A and B are shown apart, each in its own frame.
Chain A
């Protein structure tokens, strides 16, 4: 595979399968998926509901282990790593952004960012992280006092705050209207462009795929295709109709 071209591999999934046991039945969510994540790229994963997107992202982010196969990060197979190792991996290397933001409702924006900072080795200043997402002035607001887009930006600030290599987003704009979606996407592009973060985004909105370096299409637990955009589109150029 040469899609990565000049970029080094950050993490590779090798023949990874994930089967959920539901009582008597096995639900195969991923079947022998192989995929590299390159440093500094924007990778967008699309696919029908239930095609295994979240499952795949969880494997990349050390949230879960494959039932078979390997997840190799810097020579270490996370598939067989201890819980402790996985915890450290998530803490140091990964920032997560979720569809429903998952902010802690009883903490202010600033405190939500601090939650991540307090366990990080080399964190950003929490106010700086909030300024990065243009929410410096909302630091003391509780999530319930923020709009959906603002909440998602707080969540992104939180993901950034520990200064991770990768930011993994599971439908980050799924709960947002198009205007807010745009600002969130702009932000992700900026993180990639200015801070060099590797960004993996799950979406079911096909029209935003042009912002990616590569687009992975999942179908029924397998990789149906991986396409490379010769040129990344700007958010403003996306088709919002």
Chain B
């Protein structure tokens, strides 16, 4: 039913008369809509770019690492059930020596056909072109890496391939769907493109230089059925088929960190885009309800008059629903604008984190329409209850003055021993609170939600800090990690790594193993630690150092849960290299690890499993000073056995820098939003309370009260309600922190529950500031109130 023109005018003028309260509401609705629209749109921007990228570049569904196999094995793999495409390639760990960069950089050289062909795991050329010179010593460089070092087509790069350093001409730069989230080995959480070098080289060059003539060391492929279990079965078949060529690892694409990080991010985004906005809009609906029910009460005679004039109940209903519609629509439109701004901001953050071409902010009409519909829907929801009641009144009844508003005694008044002691102002406050239980409840709820939001965000930021400190300061103590290609005698580690002269060293051995408990199985890298380990010290859940047992394993909590084992249980352990015998390994301890799935064993124990005495494939070292470090780097660059050097400090800095910035913005925006919600809610409820009690205010003013003294009655009410709200909010925030740590519990990372008292204090202080700001507005209104006019008005 269409609203009549004149009633529309009335609606707009009434709204204008309440512009303060309404704009506060529009802001709350707008924030809700903006969060929804921004997150839902970014989800699509990112998911769309990802899907296009994976499809266009034919991202493989699996990869199988081998020691060495003839190129023809691809045919045997292709013949296996469920396999739809196969490609054999060379994927070789290399060291890159860049001019002007002291430290050697770990990289991967990956073979590509000399002539461009639509292969699996294809790349997108960004600059330059494909190979084609007469000399095949050419490389296409990962664009993110090239950009980080200012390299481009025409430059040259020195690469240590197997045992020789070769000088390659960079012909182009490219991005690959395989390497979207560029975390260098041991880097933890934050992408570090400058330390993640991927170069694509002509097949012939790699075959020659890596001693793999006519051979490949990796099979990648696609499948028909890409369900996780189907892929797992297929990988098992392939593993058996290629057993003779020394399968060292099999990975489904979904388990690759790069794919996984992006997928986890998208999953998280999908959940957040559906929860956070609902909470905001719900608060808006509640506050709107408070406002509109007041408005309807004020306009009771108007309703009666309209009905007397012959307006039907539904016409009256539609008119008053208009308040909700305008707030919802106004908030919706504001939300779309704010949402677009947030979306472009988020997109640029994602661009910085994920090397996916074509992450662009798009406007999605359906999301915008849904956002509008949701906001209008919520706003109508907030209006409909009070309106339906008013519209259903018989016109004669509506003309009567309303039954006195909550003139009854509140419960406390029936406790004379308590009530009698309260001052007159306290009584006014308490009466007002308890006579309007719904409004009071909304106040409490709104400040609770806002507080909880701030608490959770602050806790979350601290949790990230705890993770980083735990992994990079409490568990790891080395300065550098030097990784070698093939296991070396642990006793001679110092010679190989040149670390002897430099400081304390400690060998490590990482072996990819299958760990099984009944039907549960996980393939992971087990780290062998020497007894008396000092540079890498796994901790238990209370932060105490765990002693690595002579036999058996320490598992991370997450891995133990995945396998369904506890201390004292026995798992089956089978290394993927060496004799590949299955042994029974007792679980001796559970370690607290936040990044990845860790498993630890004694270095000797693990060495014997692969048929050696005491071997190592990485060495941790403490390096004293910059000169020593430079010396180390120089030496390492000449050691062909070394394929990587990682710096603990750099990984730590990188994480703190990247996430620090994003976290800072995120905290700022959250605090702002939470504050605006609290501010808007407080302002609205106080305005309603003020409009109901105008006479009371006027009377007090006549009696000689100063505006400040009068507004103290109102602020006392606000302080009481919001104090309770903040209190509940702190509790809810603590609860939410727990919930989030349950939600962010993936194989890649886990969030510990961090509840810092100073966060609770800070959140309370912030909320108090926003509430005080709202009080200031109310104070101004009380000062400006024309109390004489109020008293003279007929009521």
**A residues adjacent to B (C-beta < 8 A):** 54-55, 58, 61, 63-65, 83-84, 87-88, 90-92, 94, 96, 98, 100, 102, 104, 106-107, 111, 114-116, 118-120, 158, 162, 175
Query: Given A87-B312, A91-B310, A111–B396 Cβ distance below 8 Å?
Result: no
Name the distance in Å between A15's Cβ and chain B's nearest Cβ.
19
Query: Given A63-B396, A64-B395, A119–B310 Cβ distance below 8 Å?
Result: yes
Query: Given A63-B395, A162-B310, A102–B6 Cβ distance below 8 Å?
Result: no
Within 8 A of A (CB), among B9-27: 9-10, 13-14, 17
- 16 A-B residue pairs with CB within 8 Å: A54-B396, A58-B395, A63-B395, A64-B396, A90-B308, A92-B310, A94-B310, A96-B305, A102-B304, A104-B10, A106-B10, A115-B7, A116-B309, A118-B6, A118-B7, A162-B309
Query: Given A102-B304, A104-B302, A119-B315, A90–B13 Cβ distance below 8 Å?
Result: no
Q: Check if B395 sits within 8 Å of A114, measured CB to CB.
A: no
**B301 nearest in chain A by CB position:** A102
Q: Check if B309 sits within 8 Å of A63, measured CB to CB.
A: no
Q: Check if B6 sits within 8 Å of A111, measured CB to CB.
A: yes
B313 at the interface (CB under 8 A from A): yes
Name the distance in Å between A50's Cβ and chain B's nearest Cβ.
13
Q: Check if B310 sits within 8 Å of A88, measured CB to CB.
A: yes
Q: Check if B399 sits within 8 Å of A63, measured CB to CB.
A: yes
B744 at the interface (CB under 8 A from A): no
Residue count of chain B within 8 Å CB distance of chain A: 28
Q: Check if A106 sits within 8 Å of B13, measured CB to CB.
A: yes
Name the distance in Å between A238's Cβ and chain B's nearest Cβ.
26
Task: Compute the total of residue contacts between A and B using a CB distance below 8 Å.
Answer: 87
Residues of B within 8 A of A106 (CB): 9-10, 13-14, 17
Residues of A within 8 A of B395 (CB): 58, 63-64, 90
What CA separation (Å) do A42 and B66 show in the bound complex? Answer: 108
Name the distance in Å between A64's Cβ and chain B's nearest Cβ.
4
B4 at the interface (CB under 8 A from A): yes
B311 at the interface (CB under 8 A from A): yes
**B400 nearest in chain A by CB position:** A54
**B299 nearest in chain A by CB position:** A104
B9 touches which of A58, A64, A65, A111 (Cβ 8 Å): A111
Q: Check if A83 sits within 8 Å of B312, measured CB to CB.
A: yes
What CA separation (Å) do A114 and B394 show in the bound complex? Answer: 23
Q: Check if B9 sits within 8 Å of A119, measured CB to CB.
A: no
Residues of B within 8 A of A63 (CB): 307-308, 394-396, 399
B794 touches which of A54, A55, A84, A100 (Cβ 8 Å): A100
Q: Check if A114 sits within 8 Å of B6, measured CB to CB.
A: yes
Q: Check if B396 sits within 8 Å of A58, measured CB to CB.
A: yes
Q: Check if A90 sits within 8 Å of B10, measured CB to CB.
A: no
Name the distance in Å between A170's Cβ and chain B's nearest Cβ.
9
Name the distance in Å between B182's Cβ and chain A's nearest Cβ.
61
What per-residue 1/0 map shows which CB atoms of B578-611 lie under 8 Å from chain A? Answer: 0000000000000000000000000000000000
Q: Check if A119 sits within 8 Å of B6, measured CB to CB.
A: no
B424 at the interface (CB under 8 A from A): no
Residues of A within 8 A of B254 (CB): none
A118 touches which of B5, B304, B397 (Cβ 8 Å): B5
Q: Check if A107 sits within 8 Å of B307, measured CB to CB.
A: no
**A103 nearest in chain B by CB position:** B305
Q: Check if A115 sits within 8 Å of B6, measured CB to CB.
A: yes
Name the distance in Å between B216's Cβ and chain A's nearest Cβ.
81
Q: Check if A87 sits within 8 Å of B6, measured CB to CB.
A: no
Name the distance in Å between B401's Cβ and chain A's nearest Cβ.
10
Name the distance in Å between B8's Cβ and chain A's nearest Cβ.
10
B466 at the interface (CB under 8 A from A): no
